[in-house]
Amino acid sequence: MDNVTKYIISVFIGSIVGFIGGFQGIAGGVYISMILLAFGVAKSQRIAAGTTLLAILWPISLGAVYEYWKTGDIEVASALIIAFFYTVFAWLGAKANKKIKEEYIVLSLASLMFLTSMFFFNKYYETAYGKMKL
Structure pTM?
Answer: 0.63
Cβ atoms of residues 17 and 31 within 8 Å? yes
Print pLDDT tens along the chain (134 aa).
Answer: 899 999 999 898 888 887 877 776 677 788 888 888 889 999 988 898 888 888 887 766 677 788 888 999 888 888 888 788 878 888 888 888 889 898 998 898 889 889 889 988 988 888 899 876 55
Cα 16 from Cα 51, distance rounded (Å):
16
Cβ atoms of residues 20 and 31 within 8 Å? yes
Length of the chain: 134
Among 86, 87, 108, 105, CA closest to 97? 105
Helices then strands, each counted (H, E), the chain:
6, 0
